[in-house]
Amino acid sequence: MNVPRLGVNIDHIATLRNARGVGYPCPIKGAKICQQAGADGITLHLREDRRHIKDTDVYAIKQAISIPMNLEMAVTDEMLAIACDVRPDWVCLVPEKREEVTTEGGLDIINNEKLPNFIKTLQSSGIKVSLFVDPDTAQIDKAAALGADAIELHTGAYAEAWLACDDEPLVNEQVKNELMRIQKAVAHAKKFNLLTNAGHGLTLDNVAFIAQIDGIHELNIGHAIIADAVFVGLDEAVRCMRQVFLDKVALLDG
């Protein structure tokens, strides 16, 4: 079984920086530390309100790293122009609401008239396109029909179920149901040969059961790694997350 790639989302380094309106901690330095610690990619979300990552960060990080950059963004003309100028390796299209604390659900790609041309424009600029969707077969069918290069499954409901349960997570019905939804979605995406990533709310505690799903290509993890970094440092936090992936896959292969 393949070990999933680890994409580290560095948005919350910028959240901390912006809390004081100063230049530190620097997300560019953070991206380089993640790369050195074994991250397979760097993810960043340029939000419409620029609450964490700023336009200058996007350009600087593209220059600073040699691993793939994954730019998360909303389906807007402003973001399309920036992406086509920066040319990240990947763009992940996400829904965005100004008042939300974080991305609350997958993008509904079934009823989005803008998407076909949007995806084509990005792809013709040499950018691969991933669609952040809920683990739902109808969304996956549509992602394949749209010619996306990958999907990223929203694992937020699984993570929330994990946090909400006060018994052993793996015997908790809600956790088991959400895990099963993700497993089924990964199996469904395999039929189309769609690269399948996942992310949102993943932590050292809950990630192993997602990392062990055969067919998961990459996991994008932000908040938990940056939170762990407060206590152990960013290098160690990235290495620990990566080690969980390696241990879980070694256990299954053994």
Residues in contact with ligand PXP by the rule CB under 6 A: 9, 11, 45, 72, 92, 94, 102-103, 132, 152, 199-202, 220-224
Contact 247, 36 (CB under 8 A): no
Q: Which one, 65 or 158, has the nearer CB to ligand PXP?
A: 158
Catalytic residue among 72, 96, 152, 218: 72
Residue 115: enclosing H or E segment and its boundaries? helix 115-124
Distance of CA 170 to the CA centre of its chain: 24
Q: Check if the beta carbon of residue 61 is closer than 8 Å to that of residue 88.
A: no
> Which residue lies nearer to ligand PXP by CB, 154 or 188?
154
Q: How far is the CB of 254 from ligand PXP (least distance, A)?
A: 28
Q: Cβ of residue 103: shortest distance to ligand PXP, in angstroms?
A: 4
Minimum separation from the CB atom of position 243 to ligand PXP (A): 17
Nearer to ligand PXP, 65 or 72 (CB): 72
SS3 (DSSP) at 77: helix
**12, 52, 188, 200: the active-site residue:** 200
Question: What six digits make up the tokens of 41?
Answer: 């990619």
| 12 classed as catalytic | no
Q: How many CB atoms lie within 10 A of CB 183?
A: 18
Strand boundaries in 167-232, DSSP class E: 195-199, 216-221
Enter the tokens of residue 128.
């691969």
Q: Which is nearer to ligand PXP, 202 or 216 (CB)?
A: 202
Just list the catalytic residues: 45, 72, 200
